[in-house]
Chains A and B, each alone.
Chain A
Amino acid sequence: MASLSSRLSPITRRRLSAFKANRRARVSLWLFATLFILSLFAELIANDKPIIMQYDGQWYFPMLVDYPETEFDGFLPTRTDYLDPFVQQQIDDHGWALWPIIPFSYQTLDMNMTRPSPAPPDSRHWLGTDDQGRDVTARVIYGFRLSVAFALALTAGSLVVGVVVGGVQGYFGGKIDLIGQRFTEIWSGLPVLFLLIILASFVQPGFWWLLGIMLLFSWLGLVDIVRAEFLRARNLEYVRAAKAMGLPSRLIMWRHVLPNAMVATLTFIPFLFTGAIGTLTALDFLGFGLPPGAPSLGELAAQGKNNLHAPWLGITAFMTLAIMLSLLVFIGEGLRDAFDPRHVQQRQAGPAQETQHA
């Protein structure tokens, strides 16, 4: 039984091979996946604490544990600032430390700067610093992770809500459909941006606040697609056969109708994803987004706008967003083509001829 269901269906296999045949999409997926996985370990790449160190023959893990400065023969009982020249001198004298490649976190202010901030790129700050003296490379890495995580959560949430609402409307039809449609129409008329601006005036919108508010509205785009697919599928003969068999509605929807609706839905996902990243960036750019200090690409873009004499800020923000969104669009295109039966046929015609010559 398990071996049967774990076997990929031939349709899925055909789609996979169609996706693999699309070189641009495949390369984009690999690049994006690599970047995202790397950014998941941002703390090991860009941090203002050593990953691991030895001091007087003892092991320390500053990344996981906060040690007071007195531990390293300092004077203050507060948390150690490992970038302090005195502490660094002590560590060099009594042992060694393994530092991340970029010795700054996203909110580390570089106190040993000799130049005014924003400082242009050099060997110490690869992409320069922003106008508060924070390392731009570190902020980009953390910002990328935050954007993608936000978009992932938002897409997953919208997918669940959108499929459930659209599915119920489409499958049952009639009055439920009519009332549901009118409700979604009214709901989609609410101004999202104003709601966020109003919200920003009485709570400090954090990651979860923003996600919640956006989630209230982002599912609307999916409802129409899913509803149309369910409306079509509920009269298919195998769905009627399942009804005649006496299966309850939820099982029919889950096993028979949803797999059909998923094609249209999956095609829509990459665009939901890029949309989520774009919205978060825009809100941060306007100052209604994540709290100050959070690593955000929109805030970097805003800094670039305010500091035209420091072009590395604007260029970095632009390049990061452009590369990230382009990769996502390429992946989305590949997915859409893989799910489109006509494209699959064209692709299959190609290799068939090649094998003939071989």
Chain B
Amino acid sequence: MPNPLLRIEHLDVTFDSTPVVHSLSLTLHAGETLAIVGESGSGKSVSALGMVNLLPSNASVQGERWLGDTNLANLTETEWNTVRGNRVGFIFQEPMTSLNPLHRVGKQIGEALRLHQGLRGQAARERCKELLEQVKLPRPDELLDAWPHQLSGGQRQRVMIAMAIANNPSLLIADEPTTALDVTVQQEILALLRELRDHHGMGMLFISHDLNLVRRHADRICVMYQGRIQEIGPVEQVFQHPQSDYTKALLAAEPEGRPQAIEHTAPLLTARQLSVSFKRPKTGLFKRQPPAFVAVHPIDFQIAPGETLGIVGESGSGKTTLASAVMRLVTSQGDVTLGKDKLSALTGDALRRHRHRLQMVFQDPYGALSPRMPVFDIVSEGLRFHYPHLTTEEVTQRVNQTLHEVGLPESCAARYPHEFSGGQRQRIAVARAIILEPELLVLDEPTSALDRTVQKQLVALLRDLQARRQLSYLFISHDLAVVRAMAHRIMVLKDGEVVEQGPCLEVLSAPQHAYTQALIAAAHLTH
């Protein structure tokens, strides 16, 4: 075997005397993709950034690091600058923020060329155009002069890739390059990366939490847990015969099972011709008002008691807007009826009194809990408002009971949200919603910010609550594996319109619409 491109031996990373990565050793050959897989906090990003000295000053990195014949451990800061961006290229997770919004695309790519190759003017422009063609962006001539905000997320990520490969690096580090993108776009980007890798003979370090992606796009895989390598080996070997317990748990973490079957009764929630549109601003003082932007086209649906309706779609398809319309948090047209009450006719105080009957759990477990309130106050707030006659003891009892029901110890009532992990926070958010004993719970991507193993636990909790309380769910997700484990029926949204709906398993096994088929193909559902 030839000399490896990248050789790391016993890498230790320490933040303020707290060790984060322990004795990490790995090698990467040219033309190979090595995936580092782990859950959040496992140290996968930190080790990649630590290899190339991109960590903040309070981190210290020890261990041998070789890039080809260069000893990375002894480089000075100026020598680093000739390595990074030149021999090592980076792609980061967030395409929305990693481009400078005040520079045109061409200038941002050109900067790397100017710094490392001294290309300027027409020569740099030609090379930029060539790079944009390589990353398969349409109309490269026009895009060179586009602003970042004019591009979609996938296009921006392609620009980022063009910047990363501008100087023909020998090593490409991709840190969750597709996590912020829709599933169908993910596939295109990963195919592009693979093609570029083969074309340039680069070594690729691919960091991801998504086992499905890794399985299809990596040659070798390195599983990390709490800063230690659990297992390293060829992809098929790790997937077929996992050695460590952690890898086995990770592989088994796909949400499974099905919700309990329901009897068909009168619907709990009925939406008729529900639609949402937003006014567009006038472009000039004397211009005519442009037609409103329709976020959700008129939709009819029903949810029975104890039933879960899954809503599936990519970003921008109007899933969250639809949920807000059901919750009456945005202005909408059409009727929403809950039980016998027509919610869409109510406003102000009258609506507020009905609010405890339908509750919502939000996507971001970090943003949905007020950081300045202890858990007890967060959970009991709605209870104290809707039932002011309850005594302090009764409230405390209800809070403890609810916390117990979502699987949290009573002792956490006095603590603040920042002391909890993402999964625990989501449990607190569920507790806050169900303490009011709602009939309908709207779940807006409740699992998408969580690790797979935590997702599985939350899905189990939600199904359990549903069975015990006869709760109805409106479950929004882009993740088909989670939807399959939760929903009785699903509704596929695209650009605010329903393209397909029906019983969950039927739609997933025999999709009718082309868009649904593409979604299901991209998701690569197992079993």
Contacts and interface: CB of A to CB of B under 8 A. Distances in A.
A241 B368 contact: yes
A246 B356 CA distance: 7
Contact of B414 (A7, A241, A246): A7
Interface string B344-373: 000000011111100110111001111111
Interface stretch (A50-58, A199-207, A223-231, A247-255): A247-255
A11 B360 contact: no
B372 A241 contact: no
Nearest to B355: A246
A238 B58 contact: no
Contacts of B16: 349, 352-353
B353 A236 contact: no
Given A4-B376, A246-B352, A356-B17, A10 B392 contact: no
A240 B442 CA distance: 13
B382 interface: yes
B432 A241 contact: yes
Contact of B329 (A5, A243, A256): A243
Interface residues of A, number: 28
Contacts of A246: 351-356, 382, 385-386
Given A10-B418, A246-B352, A349-B16, A256 B327 contact: no
Given A10-B418, A245-B382, A251-B385, A5 B377 contact: yes
Interface in B259-306: none
Interface in B367-402: 367-374, 376-377, 381-382, 385-386, 392, 396
A292 interface: no
Nearest to B353: A246
B429 interface: yes
Contacts of B373: 255
B196 to A, nearest CB: 38
A137 B411 CA distance: 59
Contacts of B429: 241
A259 interface: yes
Interface in B206-234: none
A4 B377 contact: yes
A256 B356 CA distance: 19
B368 A245 contact: no
Interface in B410-452: 413-414, 416, 418-419, 429, 432, 436
How would you classify the secondary structure of chain A's contact residues: helix, strand, loop or mixed?
helix
Nearest to B359: A244
Contacts of B352: 246-248
B449 to A, nearest CB: 11
Interface in A300-358: 349, 352-353, 356
A255 B418 contact: no
A114 interface: no
Interface string A204-242: 000000000000000000000000000000001110111
Most chain B CB atoms below 10 A, which of A11, A245, A256:
A245
Contacts of B370: 238, 242, 255-256, 259
A238 B414 contact: no
Most chain A CB atoms below 10 A, which of B351, B385, B413:
B385
Nearest to A248: B352
Given A11-B372, A245-B436, A246-B385, A240 B416 contact: no
A1 interface: yes
Contact of B381 (A5, A242, A352): A242
A244 B359 CA distance: 6
A10 B372 CA distance: 9
Contacts of B436: 245
Contact of A244 (B355, B413, B418): B355
A89 B154 CA distance: 97
A352 B58 CA distance: 11
A108 B386 CA distance: 63
A244 B414 contact: no
A5 B375 CA distance: 11
B364 A237 contact: yes
A245 B364 CA distance: 17
A267 B377 CA distance: 27
Interface in A105-138: none
Given A1-B392, A243-B329, A245-B436, A9 B372 contact: yes
Contact of B17 (A10, A11, A352): A352
Contact of A245 (B363, B381, B413, B419): B381
26 contacts: A1-B392, A4-B413, A9-B372, A10-B416, A237-B362, A237-B368, A238-B367, A238-B369, A240-B329, A241-B362, A242-B381, A244-B327, A244-B360, A245-B355, A245-B359, A245-B382, A245-B385, A245-B432, A246-B356, A246-B382, A247-B352, A247-B382, A248-B352, A259-B370, A349-B16, A349-B58
Given A247-B385, A356-B17, 16 more contacts: A7-B414, A9-B372, A9-B374, A11-B371, A237-B364, A241-B360, A241-B368, A242-B381, A244-B329, A245-B382, A246-B354, A246-B386, A247-B352, A247-B382, A256-B370, A349-B16
The 10 closest A-B pairs by CB, nearest first: A246-B355, A245-B382, A237-B368, A237-B367, A246-B352, A237-B362, A244-B360, A238-B370, A259-B372, A356-B17
Interface of A: 1, 4-5, 7, 9-11, 236-238, 240-248, 251, 255-256, 259-260, 349, 352-353, 356
